[in-house]
Amino acid sequence: MFPIQLLPHILSLLPLAWLIFAIFNQMLGADPQEKLMSDLGFWGMTILFVSLSMRPFSILSRYLSAFRRISWLKFRRPFGLYSAFYLFIHFICYLLFILQFDWGELTNEIIERPYITVGFIGLIGMIPLVLTSTKSMQRIMGRKWQKLHKLVFIIMGLSLIHFIWQSKSDLNLATGYVIWALALVLIRLANSKIIKSAEGTFRT
Partner 1 sequence: MKAFQFNEKESQITDEKVFWNRRDFIQKAGIFVGSGLISANVLGQSENEEGTKQDKLIKQKKAQLLTNQISGKDLKSELTSEYAVTHHNNFYEFSLDKKEPSELAKNFNPDLSWQVKIGGEVEKSGIYTLEDILKRVSQEERIYRLRCVEAWSMVVPWYGFQLGHLIAALKPNSNARYVEFKTLHDSKQFPGQKRGTFGSFSLPWPYTEGLTIAEAMNPLTFMATGVYGKSLPGQNGAPLRLVVPWKYGFKSIKSIVAINFTKEQPVSTWNQRLPQEYGFYANVNPDVDHPRWSQASERRITNESFWGVKKIKTLMFNGYGDLVGNLYKGLDLKKNY
- CB distance 80 to 152 below 8 Å: yes
Nearer to partner 1, 21 or 67 (CB): 21
Q: List binders of partner 1 among 150-169 (CB under 8 A).
A: 165-166, 168-169
How many residues make up the chain in this entry? 204
Nearer to partner 1, 70 or 96 (CB): 96
Among 59, 106, 110, 113, interactor with partner 1 by CB under 8 A:
113
Q: How far apart are CA 157 and CA 194, in angstroms?
A: 25
Residue type at 68 in one-letter notation: R
Instruction: Tell me, by CB under 8 A, how many residues bind partner 1.
Output: 26
Q: How far apart are CA 204 and CA 103, in angstroms?
A: 63
CB of 166 to partner 1, least distance (A): 7
- CB distance 167 to 174 below 8 Å: yes
Closest among 34, 32, 39 to 14, alpha carbons compared? 39
Does position 194 interact with partner 1 (CB under 8 A)? The reply is: no
CB of 40 to partner 1, least distance (A): 14
- CB distance 135 to 145 below 8 Å: no
Cβ neighbors of 60 (< 8 A, separation 6 or more) are 67, 187
Nearer to partner 1, 114 or 128 (CB): 114
Among 25, 26, 201, 204, interactor with partner 1 by CB under 8 A:
26
Among 6, 21, 92, 114, interactor with partner 1 by CB under 8 A:
114
Binding mask 72-111 for partner 1 (x = CB under 8 A): -------------------------xx-x----x--xx--
Among 23, 96, 181, 184, interactor with partner 1 by CB under 8 A:
23
Helix (H, G, I), strand (E, B) or coil at 89: helix
Nearer to partner 1, 108 or 146 (CB): 108
Does position 25 interact with partner 1 (CB under 8 A)? The reply is: no
Among 34, 59, 125, 148, interactor with partner 1 by CB under 8 A:
34
Tell me what percent of the chain is helix, strand and coil, each rounded to the nearest 5: 85, 0, 15
Q: How far apart are CA 43 and CA 31, in angstroms?
A: 18
> Binding residues for partner 1, per CB under 8 A?
23, 26, 29-34, 97-98, 100, 105, 108-109, 112-115, 165-166, 168-172, 175
